[in-house]
Amino acid sequence: MVLPLHLLNVFNPLYLKNVFLHSFKNKLIMSEKVRVRFAPSPTGPLHMGGVRTALYNYLFAKHNGGDFLIRIEDTDQTRYVPGAEQYILDSLKWVGLTADEGPENPGDCGPYRQSERKDFYKKYAQQLIDSGWGYYAFDTPEELDEVRNRAKEMKMPNWQYNSITRSAMKNSLTLSEDEVKQRLANGDPYVVRLKAPRNEELRLHDLIRGWVVVNTSNIDDKVLFKGDGMPTYHLANVVDDHAMRITHVIRGEEWLPSAPTHVLLYRALGWEDSMPSFAHLPLILKPDGNGKLSKRDGDRLGFPVFPLEWTDPESGEVSSGYRQKGYFPEAFINMLAFLGWNPGTEKELYTIDELIADFTLERVGKAGAKFDADKTKWFNQQYLRAKSNQELAELVKPYLDKKGYSASQSFLETFCGLQKERATFIEEMVDESFYFEAPKELDSDTVAKKWKPDTAAIIEQLKVILLNIADFNEDHIEMEFKKFLDSNGYGFGKVMPGFRLLVTGKGMGPSMSAICALIGKDEVISRIESGLKKLR
RNA sequence: GGCCCAUUCGUCUAGUGGUUAGGACGCAUGGUUUUCAUCCAUGAAACAGGAGUUCGAUUCUCCUAUGGGCUGCCA
């Protein structure tokens, strides 16, 4: 841990104390097992930024021999989206981030769904009230709206429920004890709010950003416990992280502003000594312009923002997914890992085990990273080309089936060998159908440019040569073809384009001798003959 | 508006108090290839600005600018 020691700070006793406390605390943490969690909210499909957060958590845990947990943060019943939780779990499975504990494989800290831990939170809300760190507030949502609107009309900055304004609101700090009791007895709706202290300096150490200092006067009285009997994220996350013995909270930068609130809660609950370390990850930004990457950007710019395809249960709207677009999970993960992290070497292609070995939070950048769809494709291309022909032959079969083509295993392996250098996705390998059937039409540009008055006669000659090759393999074809050119004084350019045109219908592609050897002598001859007829 | 965070080629990034500021994607050019792709080589391309500290700042500090996040009984 390198701390930014600045000259001025060295003379600041508070700073020294914090440095000391922090390093001391870190030693304590190091001696216990690292436990991190990924805590998504099932309000929709998991965005790729969420996958990256999960990945970094996973890598950090595994690098340190720790546990990676999944906890579903479903405390907002109004935003429940059917299928979202399953989607999230499926997405993590697709990319291979298996949890040591989670809703599907509970450990001893369950349940792993906050909606199932409901009773838990009320106790702590009560504890906060008893200790004076929390208070009841009876203001209705409508009343709060009104106050906010009025402030807006008066051109006041955004109104907040805080140490100043709470004195003008309906809560257990302003109401008489009797009235509060009466309201509670009546079953009046209420929330529990945090009583943020006034004008204290609060410092929190972030593993990525260093010290962050805020004045508690800027912290508002956040709702901790809602009118519906559920906690808000703020309370639930602190209570659960403590209960689940989480040592490091690794989450997106959007949580940085509320981190001080969480520190206050650890303090209020008496857990500050075992408070987890924080690491706030930089955001993934949209490729053009600015702002964080959102669902709309994918639709707009033509790349997926979700790992798996998602159909909105309400609108039926379909959002594309990396899997369905043909990306390999390893490539997707590799790309994501490098969006905000790098090993400091020139190595870019990483297996998950290599990522685990090299990943540290120290090497995570601080600034947001714009997503680059081209680089993502490049990663996929690298992974595709690294696969063996046997592997590719298997992967290509479903796409072939879809087109109604089939071929032997050895044919497919050779085919994959020829096509993999010019594809980014498996599906692109089957773009060329000439491997499986005679070309239906001959590319008109090539015909216009390369089909000369004497070409037909030359091809007729070539046909005879090909017919006479007994063992029709790549080497022999190559040899005989060259011999043919030599003996007639033809250049490659005089014969090859026309030959290719008749056999494949195209003006370009892989080696002709390889193609011919693959599809066989009879097929080559028949294509030459029918092609010749077409061009006569 | 307030609070917080950030700022190296177009993009992802490395990097150091003294470097020809390195790599990758993309782009361009050349070579290999019958062609396409691959591959190889080469090139264009960056330290936001201003002060300060210093013999010397891209690097340290401050200010400004710009960008981002947050500002809900959402997470």
Asked whether residue A7 carries a pLDDT value surpassing 50, the answer given is no
CB-strand contact A214/B, under 7 Å: yes
Give the pLDDT confidence of A367-382 residue by residue, as tens digits: 999 999 999 999 999 9
User: Strand A201-206 vs strand A134-137: parallel, antiparallel, or unpaired?
Assistant: unpaired
pLDDT, residue A66, reads 97
CATH class of A444-535: mainly alpha
A31: confidence class by pLDDT, cuts 50, 70, 90: low
Nearest nt to the CA of A254 via C1' is B69
A171: confidence class by pLDDT, cuts 50, 70, 90: very high
CB-strand contact A291/B, under 7 Å: yes
Distance CA A18, CA A274 (A): 15
A159, two tokens: 């109104």
Distance CA A417, CA A317 (A): 38
Asked whether residue A291 carries a pLDDT value surpassing 80, the answer given is yes
pLDDT, residue A288, reads 84
End-to-end CA distance of chain A: 78
Q: Show which positions of strand B are touched by protein (CB under 7 A).
A: 1-8, 10-15, 23-26, 33-38, 60-61, 67-75
- Concatenated DSSP letters for A498-512? HHHHHHHSSS--S-H
Instruction: Pick out residues 373-402 of chain A having their CB under 7 A from any atom of nucleic acid strand B.
Output: 374-375, 377-378
A295: confidence class by pLDDT, cuts 50, 70, 90: confident
Give the pLDDT confidence of A116-168 residue by residue, as tens digits: 999 999 999 999 999 999 999 999 999 999 999 999 888 888 899 999 999 99
Establish how many alpha carbons lie within 13 A of residue A457's alpha carbon, considering only the half-sphere containing its beta carbon.
5
How much is the average pLDDT of A381-393? 96
Give the residue numbers of A annotated as catalytic, written as ranges.
Answer: 295
Global confidence as pTM: 0.92
CB-strand contact A256/B, under 7 Å: yes
Give the pLDDT confidence of A303-324 residue by residue, as tens digits: 999 999 999 999 999 999 999 9
Instruction: Pick out residues 162-181 of chain A having their CB under 7 A from any atom of nucleic acid strand B.
Output: none
pLDDT, residue A10, reads 35
Identity of residue A84: A
CB-strand contact A510/B, under 7 Å: yes
Distance CA A212, CA A278 (A): 11
What dotted CATH number matches A388-430?
1.10.8.70
Instruction: Pick out residues 419-438 of chain A having their CB under 7 A from any atom of nucleic acid strand B.
Output: 421-422
- The C1' atom of B60 and the CA atom of A252 lie apart, in whole Å, by 29
How much is the average pLDDT of A513-527? 96
Percent residues over pLDDT 70 in chain A: 94
How much is the average pLDDT of A186-210? 95
Instruction: Pick out residues 112-131 of chain A having their CB under 7 A from any atom of nucleic acid strand B.
Output: none
Nearest nt to the CA of A142 via C1' is B73
Asked whether residue A17 carries a pLDDT value surpassing 70, the answer given is no
CB-strand contact A199/B, under 7 Å: no
Neighbours of A86 (CB within 10 A): 11
- Note the ipTM here: 0.95
Per CATH, is A285-384 categorized as 1.10.1160.10? yes
Nearest protein residue to nucleotide B6, judged by CA and C1' positions: A367
pLDDT, residue A157, reads 86
Mean per-residue pLDDT of chain A: 92
pLDDT, residue A477, reads 95
How much is the average pLDDT of A466-473? 94
